[in-house]
Amino acid sequence: MDWSILGMWVAAALTLAVFSLLYRDNPFYRAAEHLLVGVSAGYYLVQYFSSGVIRKFYVPVFRQGDLWLLPGGLLGLLILFRLARRTQWISRYAIAFYVAAWSGYLIPSTIQERVLTQVGATLPPALSGAGFGAFLGAFIILVGVVSILIYFYFSAPHTGVLGRISQIGITFLMVGFGASFGYTVMGRVSLLIGRFQFLFQDLPRTLGG
Amino acid sequence: MRARPDTRGRAGRRPFYDLLMNVDRRVIFLVIAAAVALPLVFPLHLPVQISPEARAYFDEIERLQPGDQIILSFDYEPDTMAELDPMSYATLRHAFRKRLSVIALTTYAGGPGIALRVLGETAAEFGQQYGTDYVFLGYNPDYSATILRMGESIQATFPTDHFGTPADSLALLQGIDRYADIELLVSISASALTEYWIIWAGGNYGQRIIAGNSAIQAVLIYPYYDSRQLSGFLGGLKGAAEYEKLIEHEGAGLRGMDAQSMAHLLIVCFIVLGNVGLVMQKLRARGDAAGRAGSAG
Amino acid sequence: MRKTGPVVFGFLVGMLMLIQYFTPNPWIQARYNNVLDWKQVVFGITLMLGVLSLVLFHWRKIEQRQKGWGYSVITIAGLIFMIAAAVWRGQNAGPYLWMFDHVQSPMQSTMFALLAFYVASASYRAFRARGFHAALLLTAGVIVMLGRVPLGEMLGFHAGERYYSLATISDWVLNYPNVAAKRGVLIGVQLGIVATAIKIILGIERTYLGKGA
């Protein structure tokens, strides 16, 4: 029994079951959808347990003797108190730990990389004067970034000069959203191409075609 | 289903613009399916041009020397593998052809299954040995902590590889424990993971990074490429096709370009159709209003 | 204890993770590494909890014979099968990996592939150029859609001696106005995220702790 060929035909049947939703909701689609939920849940549970619990806690603590990781296990156990309403408050310590830690290391890095570096990339090219085309492009980026940031300033009404600059910002935003729309269509169509490649190119090979 | 307003004119027929704007959606579905399926069965072989960012991605790997280490992060799951698998396959073919040492990992729980398949197939194709030519460190929960922790110690972040082998016993990882030991990091991602690699691995530790992104993510990556925080990137299935052309190996990316072209053309036609209907509707309304004003006066 | 304790604990952890960026002090760097390791364990267990919640939902549906409970039996059966397969033959071979490759992957991909049909239908029905900004969005979208496929390289116009393909125009749109738009949004959103992060560390923002915090 060639399990991989059987698997391809099972995959094809399930693919068509999901596609059947396009006509209308039906029991085949529902069954396939619930099977996906169950199989995915089982898959992810195994992954989280083997990587989060076994590899990141059990192996370092009990096989390598790194006791500094014990608090991590304790905090992880605190999360489980979330299951009962009366003890939910205990899980707040673990949640506060996680969210606050993330907030702490996020602040300096993202200010540096997403704000300062991005601002730095906007100003100098516009002022460098390296060829008219490059200057024009950099100037467009500069005008766009500044006008969008002014548009996002909602502490003053968008009237007068502020209003006119905000309108320029909105214009740039519309072009950006249009580009995002174009790429979104591209992305979704690509996913469909992938499934059709499987059905029309890969699957026929199992028949010797 | 919502009742459609009765737009029949005096002759009892629906106006043409109404037909234009209300094609049944199942007809649209069928036409889209045909636009995608037919070019796959009857290819058109439309030529693919290379974008500067794809060429930069290729050049970053091409400049490396045999034995140089790269990290390849499979930051995606089966939902986007149609776009990103071609990039992963092509990147590994390029890397193995150049005899680079590949340290693979994933920040998504659905990543291991994908990585095992892609690594297994490409390693077998090039006769690469696990442990000496490539390793797979597996999945680590919490991407941000993983990225940051790797900057201090890769082996502390991944005490074992995906198969349970202690990291310090793997030949490829001898003397390799930080980003400073890695020549290049490649993130194949469908989400903001590429941005987080840039912020934390690139920003905090100066790691050189290139990325393959799904189309939806790629449009957000341009500012990082413009600021040189990212040294090259591939955008969507077209990006994969460009890279496949550069490494001279036809894969799913190149094979899908005809279907991509036809589907896009069709969707643009649908949009134009809908807007033509809108213009006709507005002209009709204006004409009716003028007629009523004339008969009243 | 119930409300203030977590906030104070969060403040201490948050400040440690903030200060570590600015100091090479070995003790602080060592605690920083510890916190990163603990975070990964907490994250893994939290995600397991999410899966268990899903299981409980379907289990209750079966117990109470709610509408569609038969489908929940399929869900629970799939879950149990995957766990049993991983325990029996491991997660790198056998039925666990087979189910991932031939059941989960194809279905997950197909679910997202459905969106291609819906985006086409939605584009047709809803994408109307009713004003200047909508027309601009539409134009940029069409240029990028056609410019980023091989067809875009064949469509274009001559201006003097030079040929401008849709691909060239699309590249210009993506590398200039699009960069401006995305960069402006990036900076603006990031400043907002940083403000929220500061409020979380200082305990001003507590909604993430749940009701009653």
Per-residue pLDDT tens for B197-229? Answer: 999 999 999 999 999 999 999 999 999 999 999
pLDDT, residue B2, reads 54
Chain C residues with CB under 8 Å of A46 CB are: 82-83, 86, 91, 96
**Predicted TM-score of the model (pTM):** 0.92
Contacts of B65 (CB under 8 A, 6+ apart): none
Cα distances (Å, whole numbers) of residue B251 to A9, B65, B116, C150 = 22, 25, 19, 16
Chain C residues 110-149 with CB within 8 Å of chain A = 110-117, 119-120, 123, 133-134, 136-145, 148-149
Structure tokens at A64: 């390598």
Contacts of C117 (CB under 8 A, 6+ apart): A22, A192, B28, B29, B32, B33
Per-residue pLDDT band at B3 (split at 50, 70, 90): low
Q: What 3-state DSSP class applies to B229? A: coil
- pLDDT tops 80 at residue A142: yes
Whether residue C202 contacts residue A107, with contact meaning beta carbons closer than 8 Å, is answered with no
Max avg pLDDT among A67-76, A149-158, B235-244, C89-98: B235-244
Amino acid, res. A6? L
pLDDT above 60 for B297: no
Q: Who has greater pLDDT, A87 or B179?
A: B179
For C40-89, what is each residue's pLDDT tens digit? 999 999 999 989 899 999 999 999 999 999 999 999 999 999 999 999 99
Using a CB-CB cut-off of 8 Å, the residues of chain B touching A113 are 198-199, 202-203, 229
Round the average pLDDT of chain B to a whole number and report it.
92
Q: B163 to chain C: which residues are within 8 Å by CB?
A: 92
3-class state of residue B184 by DSSP: strand
Q: What CA–CA distance (Å, rounded) separates B38 from B40? A: 5
A47 touches chain B (CB under 8 A): yes
Which pLDDT score, from 0 to 100, does residue B175 have? 92
For residue A48, is pLDDT > 90? yes
Touching partners of B (3+ C-beta pairs < 8 Å)? A, C
**Interface check A141 vs C, CB under 8 A:** yes
SS3 A206: coil
Q: For A19-38, what is the mean pLDDT?
A: 95
B-facing residues of C in 28-87 (CB < 8 A) are 29, 33, 36-37, 39-44, 47
Global ipTM: 0.91
Do C104 and A43 touch, CB atoms closer than 8 A?
yes
Strand partners, B73: B105, B187
Interface contact C186, partner B, CB < 8 A: yes
Strand partners, B213: B189, B235
Does the pLDDT at position B1 exceed 60?
Answer: no
- Residue C22 distance to chain A (closest CA, Å): 9
pLDDT digits (tens, 9 = 90+) for B112-159: 999 999 999 999 999 999 999 999 999 999 999 999 999 999 999 999
Element (H, E) at C100: none
Domains of chain B: 52-255 (3.40.50)
CA distance C17 to C4: 20
- Of the candidates B90, B57, B77, B32, the one whose C-alpha atom is nearest the C-alpha of residue B260 is B32
The answer to whether the CB atoms of C185 and A173 lie below 8 A apart is yes
- Where do the structural domains in chain A lie, given as residue ranges? 1-65, 80-125, 129-209
Q: Which of the two residues, B3 and A192, has the higher pLDDT score?
A: A192
Q: How far apart are CA B34 and CA C201, in angstroms?
A: 54
The confidence score (pLDDT) of residue C160 equals 87
For the cut 90, the answer to whether the pLDDT of residue A17 exceeds it is yes
pLDDT per position as a tens digit, C102-147: 999 999 999 999 999 999 999 988 888 889 999 999 999 999 999 9
Neighbours of chain C (3+ CB pairs under 8 A): A, B
pLDDT of residue B6: 56
In contact, B161 and B137? CB cutoff 8 Å:
yes
Q: Could you tell me how many residues make up chain A?
A: 209
pLDDT for A129: 63
Cα separation, C43 vs A32, whole angstroms: 29
As a whole number, the mean pLDDT across chain C is: 93
Choose the closest CB to C149 out of B82, B112, B257: B257
Distance between CA B72 and CA C71 in Å, rounded?
39
> Which tens digits make up the pLDDT trace of C189-198?
999 999 999 9
Chain B closest-CA separation from residue C112 CA (Å): 6
Q: Is the pLDDT of residue B178 over 90?
A: yes
pLDDT at B296: 66
pLDDT tens-digit profile of B61-77? Answer: 999 999 999 999 999 99
Return d(Cα C133, Cα C127) in angstroms, integer. Answer: 12
